[in-house]
Amino acid sequence: MSLLRLAYRGNPVLRMKIPPMTREEILSSEAGLLVDALWEVLAEQQYGLGLCASQLHVNSQMFVAHFPQTEFAEDVDPLPKTSFFNPRLRLTSEDEIQQWEGNLSIPGIVGLVSRKSSCIIDYLDENAKPRAILATGILSGLLQHEWDMLQGIDFVDRMSDRAKRRYLLPMGQPGLLSS
């Protein structure tokens, strides 16, 4: 069980624009421990495909994400467990997709969000080597969501119609959230 705990909506750390990490910081043992803690906390959650360092009260420009192959998204290339340090987002399409999003820092609430249908995310891996991923569809939305978190933006800020938010009942069944 990780000693680091999730920050919840209202905590100022979630609204900060996080500065880039130095090469030395990325290669440090502390960064390795942070990556381990992020994966550990993410694994403890019922839902979740990504987690930013700021969500664990750590002011480091990095997040972890994965997208396993599932029967619900067979047309999406899976993303293995990946650590993204100092990511930079490039939107590569004007086309938009609508997707339901949630945030572990805003438990139990999901909302309909418009995202660009494709993007490229440039980042440094855990060895501070430059990498890039071209993502489409749901995966593009996931990476845009995590990048937003590093800019102090949560999915609720991106909702065009907050009346379309929903809460999750204890059994994971969606229900309408009264305004």
Q: Which residues are catalytic?
A: 146
Angle at 132 between CA 68 and CA 94, to 5 degrees: 85
As a whole number of angstroms, the distance between CA 166 and CA 60 comes to 31
Q: Which positions ≥6 away from 172 have C-beta within 8 Å? A: 46
Tell me which residue of 21, 26, 19, 39 sits closest to 127, measured CA to CA: 26
Contact criterion met (CB below 8 Å) for 131 and 122: yes
As a whole number of angstroms, the distance between CA 45 and CA 67 comes to 15
